[in-house]
A and B are shown apart, each in its own frame.
Chain A
Amino acid sequence: AQKVTQAQTEISVVEKEDVTLDCVYETRDTTYYLFWYKQPPSGELVFLIRRNSFDEQNEISGRYSWNFQKSTSSFNFTITASQVVDSAVYFCALSEEGFNKFYFGSGTKLNVKP
């Protein structure tokens, strides 16, 4: 079974639109960690955020915000007022207790058009 599911393969928006990238995870551990990474066209994977399972507070960082809901096993990522530079593939990831393994979703490709 997929540990991390990113159902949206590709999303296209026009600049300044808000966009939400979905992430659903599956784990039996009570302690786990969720992550988002950005992979721009240049190819490197850039760390964006980490969330611990015991901290359900949502987070906002500039135009980025994350909505963690344990009840639905989701960790969604919203970009407000998207910009062309946001165009990238975004990966959601899960690490279970002990930081053993790191399960990545299949990624969502975001295209932001001017």
Chain B
Amino acid sequence: DARVTQTPRDKVTEMGQEVTMRCQPILGHNTVFWYRQTMMQGLELLAYFRNRAPLDDSGMPKDRFSAEMPDATLATLKIQPSEPRDSAVYFCASGFWTGPTGELFFGEGSRLTVL
């Protein structure tokens, strides 16, 4: 079964530390999204890529968040420095979009706790 793989699954860190979350999209998928889920805000879109090019990262706090796709098999989301309000579950999702077809498949999420 092809699936989106995210690491780490759980991360506890202290305020001010750098956090990097990684995502391996499903092979062949050309679109990658990063979402953040909290009880208060629900699912928030942070950034997304098409063919590795960033299309929109307007949902991210630019001063501390950055998202990249160094190659087609890896997407990263970095927070530096982390703050307690960043505590959330971060989901990566990938899909292959051709217009009439396409679904978005989610990874299991990375649960981040910033103390």
A residues adjacent to B (C-beta < 8 A): 33, 35, 37, 43-47, 50, 52, 91, 93, 95, 98-104, 106-107
Contacts and interface: CB of A to CB of B under 8 A. Distances in A.
B43 A43 contact: no
**Closest CB pairs A-B (n = 9):** A99-B97, A45-B106, A104-B43, A44-B108, A106-B42, A47-B103, A50-B103, A43-B109, A99-B102
A37 to B, nearest CB: 8
A95 B45 CA distance: 12
Nearest to A95: B104
B104 A43 contact: no
A99 B89 CA distance: 23
A102 B35 CA distance: 10
Contact of A45 (B55, B91, B95, B111): B91
B5 to A, nearest CB: 12
Contacts, number: 50
A102 B104 contact: yes
Interface of B: 31, 33, 35, 42-43, 45, 48, 55-56, 89, 91, 93, 95, 97, 99-100, 102-109, 111
A35 B89 contact: no
B42 A47 contact: no
A40 B97 CA distance: 26
A21 B43 CA distance: 18
A43 B56 contact: no
Given A35-B104, A43-B109, A50-B103, A101 B45 contact: yes
A110 B105 CA distance: 22
B43 A47 contact: no
Contacts of B104: 35, 47, 93, 95, 102
